[in-house]
Amino acid sequence: MTEIDAKIDGLVPAWLTLPDIAEELDVEVTRVRQLVKEGQLIAVRRGENRVLQVPAEFIQDGKVVKGLVGTLTLLRDDGFADEEMLEWLFTADDTLPGTPAQALRENRGTEVKRRAQALAV
């Protein structure tokens, strides 16, 4: 869990607090904290109160977006820090098209993972 910088904060269109995510996933907040601790979600401290928040695009239809966990694992294995992963996931790529986060939401995770693996080479 890191403090977010303004550049990356501007890339992410919307954020959810941990209680909001717990409601979306229909679980306890402690389970959401566990997902963050396990690296299945990225949470950063934002705003005046430095509240932990997660990009809203990571949640869809009451679940963590398919392919996100594997992509985060690949990026972490490539040596990416949380902020670098957020920057990569939310930076537009014309060849994708869109952002890797959008591609995951559109069930194009195979291509996103392929690109994440290529970063290690």
Alpha-carbon distance of 15 to 46, in angstroms, equals 9
Backbone φ and ψ for 21, nearest 5 degrees, come out as -65, -40
Q: Which residue is listed with tokens 């997660």?
A: 54
Q: Collapsing DSSP states into helix, strand and coil, what is residue 34?
A: helix
Is the Cβ–Cβ distance between 19 and 31 less than 8 Å? Answer: no
Q: What is the pLDDT of residues 60-119, one digit of tens each?
A: 999 999 999 999 999 999 999 999 999 999 999 988 999 999 999 999 999 999 999 888
Give the residue, 6 or 31, on which the prediction is more confident: 31
Q: What pLDDT is stored for residue 49 in this prediction?
A: 86
The domain limits of the chain are 2-119
Question: Model-level pTM?
Answer: 0.90
Q: Is the pLDDT of residue 121 over 70?
A: no
Q: Is the pLDDT of residue 5 over 80?
A: no
For residue 68 the two structure tokens come to 């996100």
